[in-house]
Copies of this chain bind each other. A is one copy, B any other.
Amino acid sequence: MKHELTELEGCVLGMIGTTGPCTPYAIRRGFRESPSQYWSASAGAIYPLIVRLQRRRLIRLKRKTGDGREGKLYALTPAGESALRRWLGPPCPATAIGVPPDPLRNRVAFFAMLKSAERAAFLKDAIDGVARHLEEVQSYTQCQERQGQSDEYLVSLGAKLMLEARLAWLREMAHRLGVRTD
């Protein structure tokens, strides 16, 4: 195989693989409704990507939805399924193992530019935002847990643990600066 899959391509193959044949629009909806919001899942990203995967024979057009709206249902080919399995690993690529990028960490790296009061304001704002977001993710996670322990539950559990670790980190920094965290 010449091409490795990008993260987005892997996720799209994964969605087709786990939910069965689906339209590009359904894939977009999947991204839009996911709590992650990392990808915009715009038409300009998805449709060309579908064309790419089709040209590489990893997916194929199975049939139209047939309801006059001409939805195109794509399914994995055998090659697509094995490409998906290779992407899923093992082995995990080094980029998957390494610390994920974090915009907050990027900003803390340049704390030296800020005065003590500005740092305190930054930490207060960040702690507030992360705590708020954590609450949402926690209730989402509990929701998933009640619906049985699906993969989605494991995913949001991972997200929850990330946010908790980030919050602990921010609070630790605030503590060192003597900032009240309420």
A contacts, CB < 8 Å to B = 7, 10-11, 14-15, 17-18, 35-38, 81, 84-85, 87-114, 118, 121-122, 124-126, 129-130, 133, 137, 149, 151-152, 154-155, 157-159, 161-166, 168-169, 172-173, 176
Given A100-B102, A109-B151, does the pair A121, B90 have CB atoms closer than 8 Å?
yes
- How long is the Cα–Cα vector from A114 to B84 in the complex, in angstroms? 10
Kindly provide the distance from the CB of A172 to the nearest chain B CB, expressed in whole angstroms. Answer: 7
| A15: B residues at CB distance < 8 A | 110
- How long is the Cα–Cα vector from A92 to B81 in the complex, in angstroms? 40
| A122: B residues at CB distance < 8 A | 88-90, 92
Q: Which residue in B87, B99, B112, B151 is a CB contact (below 8 Å) of A151?
A: B112
Number of copies: 2
A125–B162 touching, CB < 8 Å? no
| A18: B residues at CB distance < 8 A | 110, 112-113
B149–A97 touching, CB < 8 Å? no
- How long is the Cα–Cα vector from A151 to B123 in the complex, in angstroms? 14
- How long is the Cα–Cα vector from A142 to B3 in the complex, in angstroms? 39
Kindly provide the distance from the CB of A157 to the nearest chain B CB, expressed in whole angstroms. Answer: 7
- How long is the Cα–Cα vector from A110 to B158 in the complex, in angstroms? 14
| A114: B residues at CB distance < 8 A | 85, 88
| A38: B residues at CB distance < 8 A | 98, 101
B90–A126 touching, CB < 8 Å? yes
A161–B152 touching, CB < 8 Å? no
Kindly provide the distance from the CB of A128 to the nearest chain B CB, expressed in whole angstroms. Answer: 9
| A90: B residues at CB distance < 8 A | 121-122, 124-126
